[in-house]
Amino acid sequence: MMHKKMLLVAASIILNLVLIIHVLYNNSTTWNPSWTNRAAKEAEDVASVSCSGHGRAYVDGLGILDGNKPPCECNNCYTGKDCSFLLPDCHAAANSGDPLFLEPFWMQKAEGSAVVESGWHRMSYHFYEDGSYVSAELERITRKLHNVVGNAVTDNRFVIFGTGATQLIAASVHALSQTNAASPSRLVSAIPYYNVYREQTEFFNYANLRFEGDASAWKKSEHNDNATRVIEIVTSPNNPDGKLKRAVLEGPNIKSIHDYAYYWPHFTPITHPADEDVSLFSLTKTTGHAGSRFGWALVKDEAVYERMKRYLTLSSMGVSRDTQLRVLQLLKVVVGDGGEGIFHFGYETMKKRWEVLNKIFSMSMRFSLETIEPEYCNYFKKRRDFTPSYAWVKCERLEDANCYEIFRAAKIKGREGKVFGSEERLVRLSLIRTQDDFDQLIHMLKKLVSQEVVRPDSI
């Protein structure tokens, strides 16, 4: 009898312990396979808001925390609660390089590109398993991306991530500058050059670096004494004119940084794999995700890599782990079909835009476009036209000394030629924004060109 009572007591204790553990486990770490439901529903609800096709609603839109329906954020020239009202005579936005022309592609890839992130995803400051701030899987797929496209050599290269190519420019310039030299290193780039190179140098006011402007002018300069360390930034394809570029300078004291942000099949023929000491790339111009602020560098020399890594560690402790997760998913989509989807979509979109633009400017004697001869593209396996991100436009009339102002008066907001170190007779027009932006640009260009006498050969 006593034995039976002891067994009952023991069973009761075990049962109570099981119940207690079950309650505690349920209240803390129970795996619930439906925990993504709320996030998925929220994302689906926002994605279903059409905004009349002239805007977007976002999960982090103003007022959502108060339980309100996500508001529409309208494209340029559109307004109203659902972005259905087109503002009359609105200025065409052709200034920024926001690559929203790829947004429709990602809407087609909604399921494959979506990321659901747990609240405890990589909360720590600390490194990935290999002791770096770089996701090994993202590094692997980045190398695969270049192998698929054929636009860069990745063997025997260090890969380093940055908060966009903008941060990597600063990191690579820092890594190549001489710190203990009698005179500061010089930074140059061939005109027309991307204005951030100059602006960063002047803003940070480096003690060991000075911006000297045009690389060709430096080559002819008396200061080119082969004793001063000179860093040349080579942008290829170039921003703003879209041309493939090579370094101007050479010599034992010359270091180069190659900015290949635009070296992708939507914009240019892929003529060769880049094989440079420091090559910079940007997610912005690869997939269109400018807001994710992600870029990467391929670096030959370990000492340069270590100096860049030190710069990035002290300035930002690496790239956000959340960003790396999103980029990983995006690049999985890109390489999943060998780039066929995004690069064909991007190229066809840009090709159509350039066809429309060329037709308009062919009727003008007042304005001319920078032209580039077609080249063979190793990616598409054919000879093809360049389809740059920007139109580099020249005002041909002597009286049109400031081309930017001519276009601004015609309600087209471009970017001034002098920003790129060029003459004011040039202006850059962005062609990679939304379809609404491009349509408005074309509308205003037609009005501007129609004010001229039509060329006889264009009739």
Tens of pLDDT, residue by residue over 274-289, are 999 999 999 999 999 9
Pair 389, 431: CB distance under 8 Å: yes
Residue 298 CA to residue 147 CA, distance in Å, equals: 13
Distances in whole angstroms, Cα of residue 405 to Cα of each of 94, 100, 412, 432, 452: 14, 26, 9, 22, 17
CATH number of 37-90: 2.10.25.30
* Greatest Cα-to-Cα distance within the chain, rounded to the nearest angstrom: 117
User: Distances in Å between the alpha carbon of 417 and those of 241, 265, 438?
Assistant: 11, 26, 20
| 3-class secondary structure, 416 | strand
Q: Is 360 exposed, middle or buried (0-12, 13-18, 19+ CB in 10 A)?
A: middle
Q: What is the 3-state secondary structure (H, E, C) of 297-359?
A: EEECCHHHHHHHHHHHHHHHCCCCHHHHHHHHHHHHHHHHCCCHHHHHHHHHHHHHHHHHHHH
Q: Name all contacts of 354-361 with Cβ < 8 Å and 24+ positions apart.
A: 354/385, 354/387, 354/431, 356/442, 357/391, 357/431, 357/442, 357/445, 360/442, 360/445, 360/446, 360/449, 361/393, 361/449
Q: In this predicted structure, what is the pLDDT of residue 24?
A: 44
Supply the pLDDT for residue 459: 43
When the candidates are 3.40.50.620, 3.40.50.1370, 3.40.640.10, 2.40.50.140, the CATH number that belongs to 136-337 is: 3.40.640.10
pLDDT of 130 reads 59
- The token pair that represents 205 in the structure block: 């006011």
- Indicate if the alpha-carbon torsion angle 174, 179, 184, 186 is positive or negative: negative
Write down the pLDDT at residue 183.
80
In the chain the first and final C-alpha atoms are separated, in Å, by 113
For domain 340-454, which CATH number applies: 3.40.50.620, 3.90.1150.10, 3.10.129.10, 3.90.550.10? 3.90.1150.10
Which part of the chain has CATH 2.10.25.30? 37-90
**CATH 3.90.1150.10 placement within the chain:** 340-454
- Give Cα 226 distance to the centre of its chain: 35
Where does residue 271 fall: left (phi above 0), alpha (psi -120 to 50 degrees), or beta otherwise? alpha
**436 neighbors 54 (Cβ within 8 angstroms):** yes
Q: Could you give the CA distance from residue 167 to residue 344 in angstroms, rounded to a whole number?
A: 29
**At 166, which helix (H) or strand (E)?**
helix 164-176
Q: Could you tell me where in the chain the CATH 3.40.640.10 domains are found?
A: 136-337
Structure tokens at 240: 């703003």
The whole-number pLDDT of residue 222 equals 66
Q: Cα–Cα distance between 383 and 377 in angstroms, integer?
A: 6
The C-alpha atoms of residue 237 and residue 189 are separated, in whole angstroms, by 13
pLDDT, mean of each 10-residue run, the chain (459 residues): 49 49 50 81 90 94 74 95 94 96 96 91 74 86 98 97 95 87 87 95 90 92 76 97 96 94 98 98 97 97 95 91 96 96 98 98 95 96 98 96 97 97 97 98 97 58
Q: Which residue has the tokens 């809407």?
A: 107
Q: What does the pLDDT read at residue 20?
A: 47
**pLDDT tens, position by position, 184-213:** 899 999 999 999 999 999 999 888 899 999
Is pTM beyond 0.85? Reply is: yes
